[in-house]
């Protein structure tokens, strides 16, 4: 289908990718409406991308070899063990073929590849979405109203576009938190021997775990990225069972730092504790699956469509795959209805499967953590298979393989 005036609500990784997809597919005009002002490149958290999924996306032109990245070839699971500096390794996953990216640098590279003909507007706050039979009217915070032939919601887990499509649907709090941060790369690089340079490390502790790996810092160096999952303390605002803590407080930050100091091997504790408290991010963990990725002239992509717990390691992959599948559907279709139908058939099932895997990971790795110290390689492998086994053979960890017809 050629032609059409399309708006993408949200200009982060998913938004840049689907804007590129719509333009490649044949849209006449594409506008990206991003609510924040300035650059998004300052977001410093890490993203892991499974290498086979990278290869598929590189072949389609959505990622490129010149985007800064780091290599992971294995993942070690460790526990504290007395005074041992790095703790004791209970299991090793090899091969573990992932690439590490900085969110900000990956966004920056995608943004740079969005053609100038795309109208990318920073500070454009969408306040209303009004569907019609032949288009969608968006209301903006500055009072303007603009009509588009179709609107793609790439506006994250609190998506206004999704709320318009499914007003009774909202993300469900999982009952625990993710903590994120990055610490100076020099800490890890100065002390780590060569055999640690391509390894991700998971520290297991009672009630959770923490994944640690190296990412590019966007300036030619590296930083140590970490994400830690645990149930908030009982005295957290709102409590761990009634809902996510309302805000990041000094008390919550101190509870995190105390947990790390008590349960982590010294080397890995330093990797986390060297992150300044004001640069430590708290992320209540949610999940959500939608019954449809497309309704009328509205379509969803990325976290706006499916909120997957980060344990799956495939959030960025799914967002980029959404764009690739949308591009293929657009090229093959003769109408918007055909585009929406083809996109819907492919992505809804994938999103649902990823949500299910994220819930299994959450139960096994946070809500019902095993006695990590009692595990060895055989026990770990059995435990891991219980979480990832799939009748199709594709567990979805790191993202699902694209169907042959996609793109």
Residue 95 neighbours by CB under 8 Å, 6+ apart: 73, 74
In terms of DSSP H, where are the helices of 93-225?
103-113, 160-165, 185-191
Beta bridge partners of 153: 9, 300
CA atoms within 13 A on the CB side of 150: 27
List the chain pLDDT tens, one digit each, 407 residues: 788 999 999 999 999 999 999 999 999 999 999 999 866 555 568 999 999 999 999 999 999 998 999 999 999 999 999 989 999 999 999 999 999 998 888 898 899 989 999 999 999 999 999 998 889 999 999 999 999 999 999 999 999 999 999 999 999 999 999 999 988 764 555 555 555 568 899 999 999 999 999 998 877 888 899 999 999 887 766 655 557 777 888 888 899 999 999 999 999 999 999 988 878 899 999 999 999 999 999 999 999 999 999 999 999 999 999 999 999 999 999 999 999 999 999 999 999 999 999 999 999 999 999 999 999 999 999 999 999 987 666 688 999 998 754 44
The CATH number, out of the four listed (3.50.50.60, 1.10.760.10, 3.30.1490.20, 3.40.50.2300), of the domain defined by the range 5-52+105-171+287-365? 3.50.50.60
Distance separating alpha carbons of residues 368 and 122, to the nearest angstrom: 43
DSSP type of residue 335: S
222-230 and 172-184 strand pairing = antiparallel
DSSP letter for each residue of 67-104? S--EEE-EEEEEE--TT-SS-EEEEEE----EEEEEHH
Give the separation between CA 304 and CA 288, rounded to whole angstroms.
9
301: its two tokens: 């992509």
CA distance 96 to 388: 14
What's the pTM value of the predicted model, to 2 decimals? 0.93
């Amino acid at each position: 289908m050629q032609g059409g005036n399309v708006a993408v609500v949200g200009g982060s990784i998913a938004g840049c990718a689907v804007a590129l997809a719509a333009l490649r597919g044949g849209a006449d005009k594409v506008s990206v409406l991003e609510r924040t002002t300035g650059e998004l490149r300052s977001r410093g958290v890490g993203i892991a991308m499974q290498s086979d999924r990278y290869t598929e996306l590189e072949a389609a032109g959505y990622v490129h070899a010149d985007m800064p990245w780091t290599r992971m070839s294995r993942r070690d699971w460790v526990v504290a063990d007395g005074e041992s500096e790095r703790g004791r390794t209970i299991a090793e996953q090899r091969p573990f073929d992932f690439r590490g990216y900085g969110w900000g640098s990956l966004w920056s590279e995608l943004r740079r590849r969005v053609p100038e003909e795309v109208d990318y507007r920073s500070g454009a706050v969408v306040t209303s979405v009004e569907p019609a039979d032949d288009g969608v009217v968006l209301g903006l915070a500055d009072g303007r109203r603009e009509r588009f032939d179709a609107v793609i919601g790439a506006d994250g887990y609190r998506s206004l576009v999704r709320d318009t499509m499914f007003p009774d649907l909202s993300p469900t709090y999982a009952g625990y938190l993710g903590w994120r941060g990055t610490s100076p790369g020099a800490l890890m690089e100065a002390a780590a021997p060569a055999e640690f340079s391509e390894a991700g490390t998971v520290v297991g502790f009672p009630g959770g775990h923490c994944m640690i790996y190296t990412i590019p810092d966007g300036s030619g160096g590296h930083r140590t990225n970490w994400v830690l999952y645990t149930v908030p303390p009982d005295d957290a605002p709102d409590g761990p069972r009634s809902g996510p803590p309302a805000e990041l407080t000094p008390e919550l930050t101190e509870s995190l730092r105390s947990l790390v100091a008590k349960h982590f091997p010294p080397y890995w504790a330093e990797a986390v504790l060297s992150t300044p408290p004001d640069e430590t991010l708290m992320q209540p963990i949610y999940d959500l699956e939608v019954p449809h990725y497309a309704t009328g002239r509205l379509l969803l992509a990325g976290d706006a469509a499916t909120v997957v717990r980060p344990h799956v390691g495939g959030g960025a992959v799914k967002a980029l795959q959404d764009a690739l599948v949308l591009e293929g559907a657009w090229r093959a279709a003769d109408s918007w209805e055909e585009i929406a139908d083809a996109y819907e058939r492919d992505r809804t099932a994938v999103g649902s499967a990823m949500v299910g895997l994220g819930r299994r990971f959450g139960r096994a790795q946070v809500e019902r953590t095993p006695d990590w110290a009692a595990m060895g390689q055989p026990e770990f492998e059995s435990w891991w298979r219980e979480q990832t086994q799939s009748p199709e053979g594709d567990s979805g960890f790191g993202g699902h393989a694209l169907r042959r017809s996609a793109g």
